[in-house]
Amino acid sequence: MKKIKVGVIGPAGRMGKEIVGVIDSNPRCEVFYPLNRDDKFDAKKAKQVDVWIDFSSPDALKDVLKRAAEHKTPVVCGTTGFSKKEKDLLAQYSKKIPVLWSSNMSLGVAVLNETLKNLSAISHFDFQIEEIHHNRKKDKPSGTAITLQENLEKAVGKKLPEALAIRGGGVFGVHKVYSMSDEEVLVFEHSALNRTVFAKGAVMAAEWLVKQKPGLYQIRDVLFGKKA
């Protein structure tokens, strides 16, 4: 069986190391091109990459997409903290290549995002999102909290207070969605128990994305199929 050749951007980062580890234990994939910030870019090698996985920083995005588009190579991106301009870049390049971006690659959070649709039935409740992350995290609130908030606001049809962000210790990621009325409180909670959960989701997404047409995808599409 031919292995999927994966290019990993930022392989020495916290997530990069996890991704390399998950690929190494996956018999269908291989780490073909680990690309560090200071490495000289090898266009010949890049041409052979089947899919890029990028968990680095917003300033890497433009080069990653540009280089991938040259060879029509799909890109799985998990970087967070993007501006509107960078989100537009994802959309623009997704017309040429398959691009899958998710602020959280865990399957549990993908299901939670879908579940939020049900809160439309209690849209008159008060809502608040809370997130906790390790003290090295650069963006605030987390990309996951922002995505949950967007989906929640869509479901309940109103603007909600910004997510509360707590930073401390080594917490991999906790997200809570509170729905509150005078009589009851409903809380959805997701906890990442390690970083491997995000890496496994990203590699699963990469295996799926190599079979897709150009377009902008999310991890939910891997589980539920692409939204029409």
Ligand X SMILES: NC(=O)c1ccc[n+]([C@@H]2O[C@H](COP(=O)([O-])OP(=O)(O)OC[C@H]3O[C@@H](n4cnc5c(N)ncnc54)[C@H](OP(=O)(O)O)[C@@H]3O)[C@@H](O)[C@H]2O)c1
Residue 4 makes contact with ligand X by CB under 6 A:
no
Residue 80 makes contact with ligand X by CB under 6 A:
yes
Prior bond of 141 cis (ω within 30°): yes
Residue 215 makes contact with ligand X by CB under 6 A:
no
Residue 74 makes contact with ligand X by CB under 6 A:
no
* Residue count of the chain: 228
CA distance 91 to 114: 21
Q: Which is nearer to ligand X, 139 or 180 (CB)?
A: 139
> Alpha carbon 63 to chain centroid distance?
18
Residue 81 makes contact with ligand X by CB under 6 A:
yes
Residue 91 makes contact with ligand X by CB under 6 A:
no
Q: What DSSP line would sit under 32-92, residue for residue?
A: EEEE-TTSPP-HHHHHT-SEEEE-S-GGGHHHHHHHHHHTT--EEE------HHHHHHHHH
User: What is the nearest approach in angstroms of ligand X to the Cβ of residue 1?
Assistant: 28
Residue 226 makes contact with ligand X by CB under 6 A:
no
- Contact indicator for 142, 103 with CB cutoff of 8 Å: yes
Active site (catalytic) residues:
133, 137
Q: Which of 9, 49, 89, 129 binds ligand X (CB under 6 A)?
A: 9
CA distance 199 to 213: 23
Judged by CB under 6 A, which stretch of 22-30, 42-50, 54-62, 113-121 contacts ligand X? 54-62
For the chain, give percent helix, strand, coil, nearest 5: 40, 25, 40
Residue 103 makes contact with ligand X by CB under 6 A:
yes
Residue 13 makes contact with ligand X by CB under 6 A:
yes
Q: Which residue is nearest to ligand X (CB)?
A: 13
Under rule CB under 6 A, how many of the chain's residues touch ligand X? 23
**Bridge partners, residue 41, by sequence:** none
Give contact residues for ligand X (rule: CB under 6 A). Answer: 9-10, 12-16, 37, 55-57, 59-60, 78-81, 102-105, 139, 198
